[in-house]
Amino acid sequence: MELDEILIECPICDRSIPATSKKCQFCGTELSMSGLDELEELALHVDDFYPESPLQVAVESEEELETSPDEVEKIPEEAEPVEEESEDQEQDSESITEPEEFEEDPDKPMSLAEMEQHRKDRKKEKKIKKVTLKAEKKEKKSLRRQEKREKKLNRRGAKRDVKDGGTTEKGSH
């Protein structure tokens, strides 16, 4: 990438200008330092904000890629793929709110690992509830369909009885 291809934004007009410019070509504002100088200045302070340098992170991720298949944990398969929620399911899942359970004193601060584990556990619980609600709704829907089929068959049977001349409770008007 050429130096002229690097763009920065003018602090006054917010238009993109080359990083090597000392003056905005659109509004004429003189820049206190060129964008390139600003980038160099920011690069010096990166370590203050990010203790792990990008180079170190890249090396660590390359090492992770080189792990043997024996070291890789097997990912458990999920019971069902999660589908998008309909409005009814969203309302049901929003209406179910339970207080968070703490194994220890709730006033005691949790470590980051504990917080992460707690978050994962809550996520699993919500997923289980969601799958359970979905299965219950599916079962109710199946029962309703079965009832409709039975009613329809009963009506057809009553109509046949009337046509045949037989009398039934439904067909004896």
Q: Per the structure, how many domains does the chain have?
A: 2
Q: Which domain holds residue 31?
A: 1-51
Tens of each residue's pLDDT in the chain, 173 residues: 565 577 888 888 888 888 778 888 888 888 766 555 666 666 666 666 665 555 555 555 555 555 555 555 554 454 455 555 555 555 555 555 555 555 555 666 767 888 888 889 999 999 999 999 999 999 999 999 999 999 988 888 877 777 766 555 555 54
Under a CB-based contact definition with an 8 Å cutoff, are residues 7 and 16 in contact? yes
- Residue 159 to residue 173: CA distance in whole angstroms: 12
Residue 8 lies in a domain: yes
Q: What is the DSSP string of 26-60?
A: TT-PBPSS-HHHHHHHHHHTHHHH-SS-HHHHHHH
Residue 86 lies in a domain: no
Which uninterrupted H or E stretch holds 158? helix 112-163
| Cα distance from N-terminal residue to C-terminal residue, the chain | 91
Residue 22 lies in a domain: yes
What local confidence, expressed as pLDDT, does residue 166 receive? 58
What local confidence, expressed as pLDDT, does residue 78 receive? 47
Residue 80 lies in a domain: no
Single pTM value for the model = 0.28
- Residue 117 to residue 161: CA distance in whole angstroms: 66
Residue 75 lies in a domain: no
Backbone angles phi, psi at 16, to 5 degrees: -80, 130
What local confidence, expressed as pLDDT, does residue 122 receive? 92
What local confidence, expressed as pLDDT, does residue 24 receive? 86
What local confidence, expressed as pLDDT, does residue 129 receive? 92
Residue 103 lies in a domain: no
What local confidence, expressed as pLDDT, does residue 144 receive? 94
Please give the torsion angle defined by the CA atoms of residues 82, 86, 91 and 96, in that order, rounded to the nearest 10 degrees: -20
Residue 89 lies in a domain: no
- Residue 46 to residue 43: CA distance in whole angstroms: 5
Residue 81 lies in a domain: no
